[in-house]
């Protein structure tokens, strides 16, 4: 399952039940946020708490107003390479990330 959410630079009280219906049937869940301000790590932690002990956050990258997180079912973690690479591209002059991308 892959999804992205535009936070519109405002605090979001995301309804994870609605965002991740029947999430248990997915082995890998990728969630990206944009225009999210400083809420990146906290939101990833909330998603991990919602998914529970059956999933592990295997990678997270965030820069500026962008972030990307990958959650994998514990059983399937043995099939994921330990040397996952992450990167980010920043396009503005200040290096903040108004435009750009995050990749895993």
Q: Which of 70, 72, 97, 63 is nearest to 85 (CA)?
A: 70
What are the per-10-residue average pLDDT scores of the chain (104 residues)?
89 87 94 84 92 93 85 89 66 61 75
Nearest to 69 by CA among 81, 83, 55: 55
Give the pLDDT of residue 94.
Answer: 66
Please tell me the predicted confidence (pLDDT) of residue 65.
80
The CATH label, of 1.10.8, 1.10.20, 1.20.950, 3.30.110, for the domain at 2-103 is 3.30.110
Show me where the domains of the chain are located.
Answer: 2-103
């Amino acid at each position: 399952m892959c999804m992205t959410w535009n936070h519109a630079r405002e605090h979001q009280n995301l309804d994870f039940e609605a965002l991740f219906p029947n999430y248990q049937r997915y082995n890998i869940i990728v969630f990206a946020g944009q225009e999210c301000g400083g809420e990146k790590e906290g939101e990833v932690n909330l998603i991990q708490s919602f998914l529970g002990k059956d999933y592990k956050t295997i990678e997270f990258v965030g820069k500026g107003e962008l972030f990307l997180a990958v959650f994998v079912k514990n059983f399937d973690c043995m099939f994921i390479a330990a040397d996952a690479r992450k990167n980010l591209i920043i396009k503005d002059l200040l290096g903040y990330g108004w435009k750009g991308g995050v990749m895993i």
